[in-house]
Amino acid sequence: MATMASVGSPRAAASVRSRGALSAGAPQGGTSWCCYPAVPPAQRKRNPATARRQPVFSATLLSLTLIVCFFTTTASAFQLPFFNNPTLGTNSTMSVQKYSLPPLPYGYDALEPAISRQIMELHHSKHHQTYITNLNAALATYATATAAGDIPTQLGLQQALKFNGGGHINHSLFWENLAPANSSDVKLATAAPKLAERIAETWGAEEKFKEAFAKALLGIQGSGWGWLVKMEGEGGRLAIVTTKDQDPVVGPGEVPIFGVDMWEHAYYLQYLNGKAAYVQNIWSVLNWKTAEERFLGTRADAFKTLKASI
C-alpha cells in the first residue's frame, strides 16, 4: 500500500509527466531535463545548489581539457593510432599498435669506459623494455576504455601512459644521442658546426655551456633528465631543460637536441654515488652528429625513432 501511495504522489506524477514530455519532445515553452517538467525560460529560477556546484564542474572541464591536451601532444610524438581513429568514442573495437625495443646503433660495450657494458645491457634490455611492456599494456586498456566510453578508466591511466610513454620516448632519444668515444661523431666542432655556433652565441663558449648543463644535471633532486632543447617558435632559441622522473620533452615547439639520463640505474653500478664523474664522462660519448641533425631538423624529425619502434 505504501508503494501505491508513493506512486500516486504529486512528486511521482511530475516525474512521470516530465519523462513523457522528454521522450515525446519538449513543449515549445522550453526543454525538459531529467525528471523536471518543461518550464519556459522566463519562469526558470536559478537553483542555489546547482549554482554552488558550477565551479566544481568548471574545474572538472578544465582538468579534462588539460588531460586531453597532454594525450594529444604525446600522441603526436608517439603517432598513437587511437587519437586519429574515426571510431573514437563509439563501441567499435579499436586496434592499437604495439611498440618494441629499438636496437642500439652500437654494442653494449661500445661506450666503455664512460658507460660499462653491464649498465648498458641492463639499462637497455631490462629498464627500457619494462617501460615498453607497461606502455603497451596501458595503451591496450586505454583503447578498450575509449571504445566503451569509460572515462574514469581513461583518466586513471594517464599517469601510466605519461610515465611509461615518457620512459620509451626518453630512452629512444638517449640511445641515439650516444656514440663510441673513438667515433668522429663525438667532436662538437666538426660533427655539429651549426649547433656549435649557436651554443657559442648563447653561452659564450663550449666549456661554459658544459658547465651550465652539468650544474643543471647535478641539481636534479631524485630522478630525472637533463635536455638541450630547441624552441621552434622562438627563432630556434636553445635552452637547458630538466624534467622529473620520466616526463618527456613534448611541449609545443620543443625539439629535444640531446638528453642525459640522471636516474640511478644509468650510472650507479659503475659510479656509485659519484654523479659528477658520470656527468663529466658522458661528454666523451655524446653523439654531436645526431644533435646537429635534430638541431637543423623539426620536432617530427627528432621523434622519427619512435615510429621505427612500432
Which pLDDT score is estimated for 162? 95
Q: What is the mean pLDDT of residues 128-141?
A: 96
Q: What is the CATH number of the domain that holds 298?
A: 3.55.40.20
pLDDT recorded at residue 85: 40
What percent of the chain clears pLDDT 70, i.e. is strictly above it? 69
Decide if 259 is inside a domain. Answer: yes
Containing 113, the helix (H) or strand (E) segment is none
Q: Report CA-CA distances (Å) from 74 to 144, 165, 297.
A: 19, 8, 19
Do both 172 and 203 map to the same domain?
no
Q: What residues contact residue 300 under an 8 Å CB cut-off, 6+ apart?
A: none
87 is a domain residue: no
Mean pLDDT, rounded, of the chain: 78
At 241, give phi and psi (nearest 5°): -125, 135
Q: Any idea what the CATH number is for the domain that residue 124 is in?
A: 1.10.287.990
- Say if residue 33's pLDDT is above 60: no
Count: domains in the chain:
2
C-alpha cell at 259: 638528453
CA distances from 27 to 20, 22, 42, 147 (A): 11, 9, 14, 35
Contact 162, 74 (CB under 8 A): yes
Q: Are 227 and 145 in contact (CB under 8 A)?
A: no
Assigned domain for 226 exists: yes
Q: How confident is the model at residue 40 (pLDDT cuts 50, 70, 90)?
A: very low
- Residue 76 inside a domain? The answer is no
Higher pLDDT, 230 or 6: 230
Say yes or no: 137 and 234 in one domain. Answer: no
Using CA atoms, how far apart are residues 35 and 78, in angstroms rounded to an integer? 45
Q: Which of 130, 155, 177 is the last residue of a domain?
A: 177
Specify if 10 maps to a domain. Answer: no
Q: What gap in Å lies between CA 194 and CA 250, rounded to an integer? A: 23
**Which of 138, 157, 177 is at the close of a domain?**
177
Whether 252 is covered by a domain: the verdict is yes
Residues 195 and 281 in one domain: yes
> In this structure, are 299 and 275 located in the same domain?
yes
Q: Give the tens place of pLDDT for each residue, 247-272.
A: 999 888 899 999 999 999 999 999 99
Q: Please, which pLDDT band fits residue 43 given cuts at 50, 70 and 90?
A: very low
Q: Give 58 or 105, the one with higher predicted confidence.
A: 105
**Residue 235's pLDDT band (boundaries 50, 70, 90)?**
confident
Mean pLDDT of 240-253: 93
Structural domain boundaries, residue 198: 188-308
pLDDT band at 305 (very low <50, low <70, confident <90, very high): confident
The residue among 157, 177, 197 that closes a domain is 177
Check whether residue 197 and residue 173 sit in a common domain: no
Q: Where are the beta strands (DSSP E) in 219-284?
A: 224-231, 237-244, 254-261
Q: 297 lies in a domain?
A: yes
Cell numbers describing residue 252: 609545443
d(CA 63, CA 66): 5
Arithmetic mean of pLDDT, 173-202: 97
**Per-residue b or e along 71-91, where b marks 16 or more CB atoms closer than 10 Å to that residue's CB:** beebbbbbebebeebeeeeee
250 vs 49, more confident: 250
| Range 217-228 average pLDDT | 97
Is 250 or 38 the better-scoring residue by pLDDT?
A: 250
Q: Measured at the alpha carbon of residue 99, what is the angle toward residues 129 and 102, in degrees to the nearest 5?
A: 60
Is residue 300 domain-shared with residue 196, that is, in the same domain?
Answer: yes
Strand blocks (E) in the chain: 224-231, 237-244, 254-261
